[in-house]
C-alpha cells in the first residue's frame, strides 16, 4: 500500500502516492490559509468556494454557523461571540476571500474586510467587479 498511486495532483500533475507528497507539496513548504467571509445567507456559495479553494491546494477556514440560511435565531451575545471567533480566524489566515454574491456585503463582513486590511491581509472577492 505504501507505493500505491492515488491519482495526479491538480496543481503539478505529478502522481500522488499513499506516503509521499507530489512535487508542488515538496517545494511549497506550507499551503496558503484562506478565511472565507461573507453573509451566512450564502451557504451554497461558501461551500462551493471552500471546495474550489481546497482543490487549488489551500487550507480553507469557513464560518461555523450559517444563521441566516438555516434560520437560526442568535442572541446579540452569540452574534458578538461568533464575530470575535471570525476575527481570530482572520488572524490565522494569509488572506481572506469574500463571498459577495451580487455585490452584497453586510456590516459584519465590512468589519471583517476592514480588520483584514488593518492587519495587512490581502482581500479577494468572489465577484471582483463589485468588490468594495
User: For residues 102 and 35, is the Cβ–Cβ distance under 8 A?
Assistant: no
Whether 89 and 110 share a structural domain: yes
Whether 75 and 36 share a structural domain: yes
Whether 38 and 14 share a structural domain: no
Q: Which domain holds residue 108?
A: 31-130
Whether 12 and 39 share a structural domain: no
Q: How many domains does the chain have?
A: 2
* Residues in Cβ contact with 45 at an 8 Å cutoff, skipping those fewer than 6 apart: 38, 99, 101, 126
Q: What is the mean pLDDT of residues 35-49?
A: 96
User: For residues 128 and 105, is the Cβ–Cβ distance under 8 A?
Assistant: no
Whether 67 and 80 share a structural domain: yes
Whether 63 and 9 share a structural domain: no
Tens digits of residue pLDDT in 45-82: 999 999 999 988 899 999 999 877 677 788 999 999 99
- Residue 61 pairs with which residues in a beta bridge? 35
Whether 18 and 46 share a structural domain: no
Confidence category of residue 44, pLDDT binned at 50, 70, 90: very high
Whether 75 and 19 share a structural domain: no
Whether 87 and 122 share a structural domain: yes
Any idea what the Cα angle at residue 41 is, between residues 38 and 42, rounded to 5°? 65
Tens digits of residue pLDDT in 67-123: 776 777 889 999 999 999 999 999 999 999 999 999 999 999 999 999 999 999 999
At 18 the pLDDT is: 61
Whether 7 and 60 share a structural domain: no
User: For residues 41 and 33, is the Cβ–Cβ distance under 8 A?
Assistant: no
Whether 37 and 6 share a structural domain: no
Please indicate, yes or no, whether the overall pTM of this predicted structure exceeds 0.85.
no
Q: Mutual orientation of helices 76-92 and 107-118 as an angle, nearest 10°?
A: 30
Amino acid at each position: 500500500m505504501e507505493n500505491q498511486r492515488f491519482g495526479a495532483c491538480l496543481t503539478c500533475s505529478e502522481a500522488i502516492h499513499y506516503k509521499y507528497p507530489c512535487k508542488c507539496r515538496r517545494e511549497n513548504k506550507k499551503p496558503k490559509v484562506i478565511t472565507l467571509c461573507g453573509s451566512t445567507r450564502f451557504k451554497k456559495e461558501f461551500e462551493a468556494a471552500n471546495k474550489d479553494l481546497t482543490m487549488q491546494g489551500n487550507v480553507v477556514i469557513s464560518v461555523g454557523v450559517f444563521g441566516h440560511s438555516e434560520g437560526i435565531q442568535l442572541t446579540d451575545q452569540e452574534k458578538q461571540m461568533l464575530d470575535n471567533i471570525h476575527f481570530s480566524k482572520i488572524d490565522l489566515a494569509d488572506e481572506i476571500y469574500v463571498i459577495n454574491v451580487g455585490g452584497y456585503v453586510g456590516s459584519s463582513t465590512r468589519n471583517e474586510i476592514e480588520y483584514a486590511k488593518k492587519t495587512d491581509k490581502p482581500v479577494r472577492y468572489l465577484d471582483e467587479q463589485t468588490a468594495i
